[in-house]
Amino acid sequence: MIFSSIFGNRVKKPIWEYKTDGVLWRITFSSNGFIVGEDRDVDKKVVTYFCLDSKNGNVLWRDLTFCDPFWSAVKGIIANKLFIHGFRKPDMPEQHKISVVDLKSGKELWFRNDISVLSANQEFICAFRDFFEKRVYYLIDINNGELVQEFNQLPETYLAEKDFTGRTNFIYPQPAEINIDLKNKLSKFIPFDKIKGSIEMTKWNNFIFFSFHTQQIKTIEGSLNFLHQFSIIDELKNKLIFKTILNKETPNIVPDSFFIDGNNLYILKEKSTISVFDISKL
């Protein structure tokens, strides 16, 4: 995969990449340096999960299914435990059932199909079951899924793990406020008259990172699709130093396609590829 870029007068390549077989639906970062992702085949209605080392992209495991063949998703991560929830019914988005998985090996530690999980900490899961005209709450041992205590009301002293849903302390792009100053600064890099939707943008040191969509015509079927592009400019030099296509043809506006974690830039391409770049030497 070639990227149009000038970093030290050479084409800059990702430090690592990972490609899913289906749609890259979602990725979740653990606090200890791992990435869990959902790989969905929408036509076959199958979801598999994978786990990567964020430092180098090494695959710890992949192509594993938990809780339900399709109607499942990542609930959260605590330490080395991954939580996958199911749903009460396919046509009801209410979470139900839980698989607890060893993060590094992908081995399922235990599974319960009779509870819905609210939150968790290093020792316990707080869950509930609905009965006729009442709801019962439970503290469940996080290591084996066994009942520890039962409550008729949600226990007030129970505190959830703050990072249960995974790390979120990244630099994310935001919709840019288009004004005269911004247009003057970026007019030679962005075709403002052809933009569809918002420009997503963030700054890092003296660099501006942004993505935008322009509408294209898909000649074979004649349907309208969007071209989704990403660029980096040096704000001090007013110079384009990197650009790539995120999605060649997408029927919908695709938000949240890049973010920054420390010195690493994550780009999500074609709804299937994670590309990671070292931006420390920009």
pLDDT 10s digits, 207-227: 999 999 998 876 666 778 899
Would residue 78 count as lying in a domain?
A: yes
Q: Which domain covers residue 26, as residue numbers?
A: 22-151
Helical segments of the chain, H only:
180-186
User: CA 36, CA 51: separation in Å to the nearest integer?
Assistant: 4
Dihedral sign, CA of 179, 181, 185, 191? positive
Per-residue pLDDT at 161: 60
User: CA 148, CA 159: separation in Å to the nearest integer?
Assistant: 16
Low-confidence ranges of the chain (pLDDT < 70): 1-11, 156-163, 218-221
Per-residue pLDDT at 179: 87
Per-residue pLDDT at 92: 74
Q: Which two tokens stand for residue 225?
A: 């699709």
Per-residue pLDDT at 98: 95
Where a domain ends, among 91, 124, 151? 151
Other Cβ atoms less than 10 A from the Cβ of 112: the count is 20
129, 184: one domain: no
Non-local CB neighbours of 143 within 8 Å, separated by 6+ positions: 109
Per-residue pLDDT at 153: 82
Parallel, antiparallel, or unpaired: how do β-strands 207-217 and 81-89 relate? unpaired
Per-residue pLDDT at 249: 87
Number of domains in the chain: 2
Other Cβ atoms less than 10 A from the Cβ of 117: the count is 22
Instruction: Write the single-letter amino acid at 238.
Output: N
